[in-house]
Homo-oligomer: A and B are copies of this chain.
C-alpha cells in the first residue's frame, strides 16, 4: 500500500508487456531450444529492448520456467476425462481435445517436449508432483472401465502413453508432417481426417465403438 502506487494504466502496460514477452518467448524457445534461444531474439519478437526483458524476468531461466509452467497448466485444464463418461466418450473427447491443443498451441507442446527430452532440468518438480498424481488418477478411471467390462483389458498406463505420444506428435513433429504433406500445413479437412483416424484406431483398439460414427 505504502510503496509505489501503480495506476490502472501502468498496470495494463505491465500486463501487456509481460504477455508480449511470454508470447515471444514461447515461440523462440520452441524454435531454437533453451540453449539456442537468446534474449535478443525474444526481445526483437516482442518488440521491446533487450534490457526490458530482464526488467520483467530477471534471468533467462526464470522466463523459461514461466513459459513451461503456462503450457503445463493449459494442458491440465483443457484435457481430461473422468468416470462419468463411457470409455468411447471419455477417450474420444480426450483425443479431440489433445489434437486441438496440438493445433492451437504447437509451440508450447514443443517447449514441453524439449524440456522433457533434455531430462526436465527446470521442471522436474512438476513431473514428480502434479503429473504423477494426474496420471495415477486417469489410470484408476481406465481400470474401472476395464473392471466393469466396458473396454478391452489393455494396460491403462501404456494406453495413456500412446495417447500422449500420438496427439502431441502432430505438434512436435509438425514440421515433418508438413514436409510429408507437400510442404503445406494440414487443412481443416486434413485435421479432421487426422482426428478421426486416431480415434478409429484407438477406440477400435480398446474394444469400444466411436460414438460419433453410429453403431
Chain A residues close to B by CB (< 8 Å) = 30-37, 110, 113-114, 116-120, 124, 127-128, 131-132, 135, 152, 154-155, 157-159, 161-162, 164-166, 168-170, 172-173, 175-177, 179-180, 193-194, 197-198, 200-207
Contact = CB atoms under 8 A, between A and B. Distances in A.
Main SS class of interface, A: helix
Contacts of A165: 165-166, 168-169, 173
Contacts of A175: 116-117, 119-120
A172 to B, nearest CB: 5
Contact of A170 (B135, B152, B161, B203): B161
Contacts of A176: 116, 120, 127, 131
A118 B205 contact: no
Contacts of A164: 169, 173
A166 B173 contact: no
A118 B154 contact: no
Nearest to A161: B169
Contacts of A194: 158, 161
Contacts of A170: 161
Contact of A197 (B154, B200, B201): B154
A114 B113 CA distance: 9
Contact of A155 (B152, B155, B179, B193): B193
A181 B30 CA distance: 27
Nearest to A167: B165
Nearest to A111: B117
Contacts of A162: 162, 166, 169, 197-198, 201
